[in-house]
Amino acid sequence: MSQAIAYAEHSAIEALHAPGSPAVVTAAELRRRYGEGDTAVDALRGIDVEIAQGELTAVMGPSGSGKSTLMHLLAGLDRPTAGTVTIDGTEITRLRDAELTRLRRTQVGFVFQFFNLLPMLNVEENILLPLAIAGEKPDKAWVEALMRRVGLDDRRKHRPAELSGGQQQRVAVARALVSRPAVVFADEPTGNLDSRTGTEILDLLSEAVAEFGQTLVMVTHDVRAATIADRILYLADGRIVKDVGASTAAEIVAAVEEVSRS
Amino acid sequence: MTSVALKGLAGRKLRAFLTAIAIVLGVAMVSGTYVLTDTIKSAFDQIFAGSYKDTAAVITGKSTVEFAQSGSPTVPASVLAKVKALPDVQTATGQIFNLNDSSDYGKLIGRDGKPLGTSGNPTFAFGLDPDIGKLNPMTLTDGRWAAGPREIVIDSSSARQGHFSVGDTIGASVEGPIERYRVVGIAKFGSVDSLGGATIGIFDTRTAQRLLGKQGYDLIAVSARPGVSPARLVGELEPLLPASAQVKTGTEQAEASAKDIAEFTSFIQYFLLAFGVVALFVGAFVIFNTLSITVAQRTRELATLRTLGASRRQVRRSVLVEGLVIGLLASALGLALGVALAKGLSSLMAAMSLDLPKAGTVFEARTVIVSMLLGTIVTLVASIAPAIKATRVPPIAAVREGAALPKGRFASYRTAISLSVVALSMALLGYGLFADGIAAAPRLLSLAVGVLALFVGVALTASKVARPLASALGRPFARLSVSGELARENAMRNPQRTAATAAALMICLALVTMVATLGKGLVASDRDSLRHQVQADYVVTSKNGWDAFSRAAGDAAAAAPGVTVASSVRNEQAKVDGDEVRVDGIDPATIAAVHTYDWISGSNATLGSLGRDGAVVRQKWATSHGVGVGDRIAVLNPAGHRSSYVVRGIYTQPKFGQVDPVFGSIGISQRAFDSAFERPRNAYTFLNVRGGATPETTAALERALAAYPDAKVATRRDWVEERATAIDQLLNLLYVLLALSVVVSLFGMVNTLVLSVFERTREIGMLRAVGMTRRQVRRMIRQEAIVTALIGAALGLPLGVFLAWLVTRALSDQGVSFAVPGGLLVVFVVVAVAAGILAAIAPARRASRLKVLESLAYE
């Protein structure tokens, strides 16, 4: 554990020391409106943001602030009403379904609040699923390293139902990392876990950023989760109202307070 | 990706199995039918091949007419002597032995005084001489062959059934009263256990000839001297034969005989296969519905796969692979079950007096191929729509609860599409039913496709009416209890699903209703037609009512005390201008007293002037053959002799008389008949008695016929009832066969309910948490099932009545009337409700056992 924290700190320091990293994800003038006419709701009202390579970005904000919508748009799960999203140089907002599918295979990984593991597959199969879908041969050494890193080496033949919530989420993290995507999106990764296992997952995520240089965008309302971020975006009413670097828990609590009040 | 689909399937074994059942039953019907008919065919092939194994050549009579009452013409006895004289002939034997076009009938009487065997099966009386060795078609299992007028050999199955063994005395009736014979042997056909319930009595040839009134032989079997080929022997025999006889090699004869049987078995085959196809069609609905629900429930899983990079194609393929595997497994299971079902079908046929011969079960490659292909393809086709639906699951559904599926490209055309399907089906039905001058095959095809399309169309439209129907039909339940209220809401909330579930039952109920309605119309029409034509107090017929019976029996009845008028009617198949026609021999003096002729030209007095060469003909036949009063018609009898008659009168009959004719199209005097046809037999003996029909007179007549087991007597009323309701037996068979489809649709309901319960785990937990009892939960599920079943009935019954009405319209010139069987329809509704209750048992139990806390925690 202490080692994991060390990694986290290390990565945070490193991120600060590499300010010129290229942007992996870029959003420009991003708007999203749900519904039409009188009942229309503007979830995003113009977002411009760049996510740097190797950085762990947390997105925070009160319910209805548009943080989930932002993640959906950045990840290509939803289409904006206006504006563009670029991942690794490709403007995804214009892609057709088949091209988006290809992009998901190579450039994007997901970690979900409810893990979304496939119940009939065992740990190993779940982790290798993205590669199987893409029809790619797994890089043995990389997979073994991942397996060890997430600490499920002795459980590779277990089914998700035989694992605890924390273990399941670790499998999900490994699955997100296995294809070495340009960016991993994590949607409330600790939202369904108790605080101890939540911490384990956070350690794992920061390790991934630190050790493998993984770019990661995490939507969360968990203050602890935000403390591992290199950068925190605060959203309110569909706009970024605060964009700060790594923060302490106290700072984050204060920022959340401030954002909620505004 | 494929392995994901397969593992998913393996992870839901019970569900997969329940889904597969829908197809298993249909495939079982198909494979069972093949096994059954192949087995019958092989049994007969064995019999025929065995019968002529050592026979080089077979001389038989040449039939000019099919299905003649008197059978094939006999081969004159003089031919035998000439054959024997040929140097290349080793031995030759004249036999009374014919399985195909047989007229060799005689009943064996059991120890209880009743004929052995079931009433509908052939009862053969053969004549085989004892010393014919290898030319004997049958094999002894005990004793020796009959020699002399008082000896008989019986078949092993009859011996077993009637507990007869060698040395016993047995009664037998061959074209006359029962006489007693000593059983000197037991015989059978090679390895075939039973000839489909037929009983066989074997006399020596001379005795059989005498009993059956035959001058010559049914066949002469010939063996060749060593070194003489059958073909050469046939060549030498041909010049010896009269025009009414023919010669074939033993092998050819076996093949020809087997071919006749093959036609019969292929008829049974198509008949039974049709019900397999119906069951598969219903099964397709179940598969479609189950997979649709499964896809809806797996939305998150499918969306997750999309976020991990699965393409639409991969998602579609995963559902299709699931369908393929279910189809393959179901087909394999069905194939195996079919073998068991073949035995069941055989018993079913036996129960309908259609015993089939038994021999080793035949399992052909074709059975495997057709069953596997049919089941798999049907399942695959049914999984196409759910697979396409699965591709519409957006990746965002992985993170957003309850994300609605975007509508398909054709969603807005749904109503238009379903209405066009209905319209198309109507066009096909109209064409099939009312178009003139099209061949049977395209007509049947357009009818079958039309009915199937109609079902699909109505099922598609059903989702529109399911909601209001559920609302209306569920109202009584809603009034009764809160469970009923919820049940009604549940049935209403996903109308598409409710409609698809109800559709499977709808199809079955529509078919059953159509059959019942048509049946009622046919019975009513037949009853009217028979009553109009026949006025006799009593009617004597053969035991089954259709075959001919011995003249002796008719005479015995005529001689009974109290009989004032006795009028026997002979009948036989003949040919005029190459067309088959039934000719009756009537008694001109008495027939008008017992039968009504509706004269077009002539009168009852015309009958008196028939004499030796006069004829009365039915108007329909006269018109189609361009025959008028005063014209001559040349009638060819089964033996190939021609006699000519002058048309003296033309009469008509009720329209339905075409469908169930009491008489043939040509009537001649009995005297003329008896001289023109070999071995004349009675179709009916009509009796009028002093004081009309009374139980005492009936008893007296039965006593008079006691010695003639081939005949029976019935009052006019009973005769009309029995003959008109003969179709009920067929209807019962149809109900049993359609019940299979009902079972399939029942499994469809079980599936939907199980999946719905699974889907509503949380909701049910909530209901339990706020105080709903287990019993209330069960009632809720059960009543939802009943509402669904009632929707099926509400759609299916009118549809079936409508189809029956259509058919009745098409058959209106046959005098088929339309009558709605109200009582039966009520029964069908009750059956539907029972099916619903039955289907709900397991799902309701499951729902009521959900643990409150766990179901609430279930995410």
Work out the minimum CA distance from A3 to partner chain B, whole angstroms: 31
Q: Tell if the CB–CB gap between A98 and B394 is shorter than 8 Å.
A: no
- Between strands B642-652 and B614-618, the pairing is parallel
CA–CA separation, B739 vs B727, rounded Å? 18
More confident position, B351 or B61: B61
Is the CB of residue A139 less than 8 Å from the CB of residue A119? no
CA–CA separation, B707 vs B719, rounded Å? 21
Query: What pLDDT sits at residue A12?
Result: 42
Is the CB of residue B555 less than 8 Å from the CB of residue B181? no
Q: Tell if the CB–CB gap between A104 and B10 is shorter than 8 Å.
A: no
In degrees and rounded to multiples of 5, residue B66 shows phi and psi of -85, 155
Q: How many CA atoms lie within 13 A of A79 on its CB side?
A: 10
Q: Tell if the CB–CB gap between B304 and A118 is shorter than 8 Å.
A: yes
Work out the minimum CA distance from B370 to partner chain A, whole angstroms: 33
CA–CA separation, B426 vs B414, rounded Å? 18
Residue B332 — pLDDT band, cuts 50, 70, 90? very high
pLDDT at A262 over 80: no
Degrees, nearest 5: CA angle A119-A121-A125: 140
More confident position, B118 or B589: B589
- Mean pLDDT of the B51-78 span: 84
Instruction: Give the lowest-confidence range in A82-86, A217-221, B403-407, B642-646.
Output: B403-407
In terms of Cβ atoms closer than 10 Å to its own Cβ (0-12, 13-18, 19+), residue B759 is middle
Secondary structure (3-state) at A85: strand
Which of A74, A123, A129, A187 to substitute to test the interface with B, most B CBs within 10 Å?
A129
- Between strands B199-203 and B151-155, the pairing is antiparallel
Query: What pLDDT sits at residue B90?
Result: 92
pLDDT at B645 over 90: yes
CA–CA separation, B226 vs B592, rounded Å? 63
Which of A59, A118, A180, A188 to substitute to test the interface with B, most B CBs within 10 Å?
A118
In degrees and rounded to multiples of 5, residue A60 shows phi and psi of -125, 165
- Mean pLDDT of the B45-61 span: 87
- Give B310-367 as a 3 state SS string: CCHHHHHHHHHHHHHHHHHHHHHHHHHHHHHHHHHHHHHHHHCCCCCCECCCCCCHHH
- Mean pLDDT of the A155-184 span: 92
pLDDT at B344 over 60: yes
Count of C-beta atoms within a 10 Å radius of residue A40 = 10
Count of C-beta atoms within a 10 Å radius of residue B539 = 25
- Between strands A23-34 and A41-52, the pairing is antiparallel
Nearest chain B residue (CA) to A127: B308
Residue B349 — pLDDT band, cuts 50, 70, 90? low
Residue A10 — pLDDT band, cuts 50, 70, 90? very low
Q: Tell if the CB–CB gap between B301 and A187 is shorter than 8 Å.
A: no
CA–CA separation, B258 vs B241, rounded Å? 24
Look up residue B659 and give its two tokens: 């469908």
Q: Which residues of A touch B395 (CB under 8 A)?
A: 76-77, 104
Query: What pLDDT sits at residue B404?
Result: 59
Helix H or strand E encompassing B576:
strand B563-576
Residue B812 — pLDDT band, cuts 50, 70, 90? confident
Secondary structure (3-state) at B126: strand
Residue of B803, B212, B845 whose CA lies nearest to B513: B803
Look up residue B563 and give its two tokens: 């009989």
Which residue stretches of B760-820 are H helix? 761-769, 774-810
Look up residue B2 and give its two tokens: 């494929």
Nearest chain A residue (CA) to B395: A77
- Average pLDDT over chain B, rounded to whole? 89
Which of B308, B392, B393 to substitute to test the interface with A, most A CBs within 10 Å?
B308
Q: Tell if the CB–CB gap between A121 and B306 is shorter than 8 Å.
A: no
pLDDT at A57 over 90: yes
The 10s digit of each residue's pLDDT in A133-143 is 998 898 999 99
Is the CB of residue B24 less than 8 Å from the CB of residue B330? yes
Query: What pLDDT sits at residue B593?
Result: 93
Residue of B340, B272, B282, B275 whose CA lies nearest to B22: B282
Count of C-beta atoms within a 10 Å radius of residue B605 = 11
Q: Tell if the CB–CB gap between B4 and A129 is shorter than 8 Å.
A: yes
Residues 6+ positions from A135 with CB-CB distance below 8 Å: none
Residue of A79, A69, A87, A71 whose CA lies nearest to A26: A87
Work out the minimum CA distance from B743 to partner chain A, whole angstroms: 31
Q: Measured on CA atoms in the order B745, B751, B754, B759, is the torsion positive or negative? A: negative
Q: Which of B11, B308, B399 sits opposite A133 (nearest CB)?
A: B308
- Mean pLDDT of the B64-86 span: 85
Q: How many CA atoms lie within 13 A of B737 on its CB side?
A: 28
Query: What pLDDT sits at residue B325?
Result: 93
Count of C-beta atoms within a 10 Å radius of residue A167 = 20
Q: Tell if the CB–CB gap between B395 and A119 is shorter than 8 Å.
A: no
ipTM (interface pTM): 0.88
Q: Tell if the CB–CB gap between A101 and B311 is shorter than 8 Å.
A: yes
More confident position, B408 or B611: B611
Q: Which residues of B touch A (CB under 8 A)?
A: 1, 3-4, 7-8, 10-11, 300-301, 304-312, 314, 394-396, 398-399, 859
More confident position, A20 or B344: B344
- Mean pLDDT of the B225-233 span: 92
- Mean pLDDT of the B391-406 span: 77
Q: Which residues of A touch B399 (CB under 8 A)?
A: 68, 72, 77, 112-113, 187
Degrees, nearest 5: CA angle B578-B581-B583: 130
